[in-house]
Amino acid sequence: MRDITQETPSTEELTEWVERGTYPLKSFFNTSGKRYRELALKDRLPKLSEAEQIQMLAADGMLIKRPILVDSRTLLIGFNEQKWEKMFALS
């Protein structure tokens, strides 16, 4: 467990998570967050490369959608009650 706003995931971690293919890269962004709006990312993200977007996420944990659960077999981003219930029912 870690506070990703204080201990932001590295570019390597983020790249690995994106490469799992479970979620598109845009899903990692906290699109309802203040920081996302301040940086006008709605219009800027489509113009940035995947590497630039990952760098942006690694530089500012407030841009990352929370909660995020990562283990060797699972990646869940944001809170979706059904997905989280299913995950914990399997544990």
pTM summary value: 0.87
Q: Per the structure block, which two tokens stand in for 50? A: 């995947």
Does residue 4 fall inside a structural domain? no
Phi, psi of 3 (to 5 degrees): -85, 105
Q: Looking at per-residue confidence, does 40 or 74 come out higher?
A: 40
Domain of 19?
11-65
Q: Please determine, for residue 61, whether its predicted confidence score (pLDDT) is greater than 80.
A: yes
Q: What is the pLDDT of residue 46?
A: 95
Burial of 25 (0-12, 13-18, 19+ CB in 10 A): middle
Residue 90's pLDDT band, with cuts at 50, 70 and 90, is low
Residue 91's pLDDT band, with cuts at 50, 70 and 90, is low
Q: Per the structure block, which two tokens stand in for 80? A: 């979706």
Q: For the chain, how many structural domains are there in total?
A: 1
Provide DSSP, 4-57. TTTSPPPHHHHHHHHHT-SS-GGGGB-TTSHHHHHTTHHHHGGGS-HHHHHHHH
Instruction: Please tell me the number of Cα atoms within 13 Å of 27 on its side-chain side.
Output: 16
Q: What is the mean pLDDT of residues 29-33?
A: 96
| Domain of residue 38, CATH code | 3.40.30.10
DSSP 10: P
